[in-house]
Amino acid sequence: MRMMDEFEAQVLSDLSVLKSQMGALVGDGNNGRLGELERRMEQHEQNWQRAKGFLAAVSVLLAVLEVVVDAWRRH
């Protein structure tokens, strides 16, 4: 078996570091930075949908209020 030269040792060392960094980034499917980012995006999308629903309900309420006030002024 031959000995590794300095370049091969450096490449293997860099690959080991890259592997550990990829493990931290991707995780096992439940953990990791990408999983956390996906969870945060899903929460953001839920909050956005709630806000849109609330604004739609408020706009309907204001439209009904405008019709009631307009009808009241006519009489």
| pLDDT tens readout for residues 7-24 | 998 999 999 999 888 877
Task: Look at residue 51 in the predicted model and tell me its pLDDT.
Answer: 98
Residue 44 lies in a domain: yes
What is the residue range of 46's domain?
A: 6-74
**Would you say residue 66 lies in a domain?**
yes
pLDDT, tens digit (0-9, with 9 covering 90-100), for 47-64? 999 999 999 999 999 999
Q: Is residue 18 a part of any domain in this protein?
A: yes
- Report if residue 16 sits inside a domain: yes
How many domains does the chain divide into? Answer: 1
Q: Which of 32, 10, 30 is nearest to 20 (CA)?
A: 32
Q: In this structure, is residue 1 part of a structural domain? A: no
Measured distance CA(23)–CA(27) in Å, rounded: 5
* Axis-axis angle for helices 33-74, 6-26 (nearest 10): 30
Query: How many Cβ atoms are within 10 Å of 26's Cβ, its own excluded?
Result: 13
What's the count of helices (H) and strands (E) in the chain, helices before strands?
2, 0
Judge whether 51 lies within some domain. Answer: yes
In a domain? residue 70: yes
Q: Quick check: is 65 in a domain? A: yes
pTM of structure: 0.56
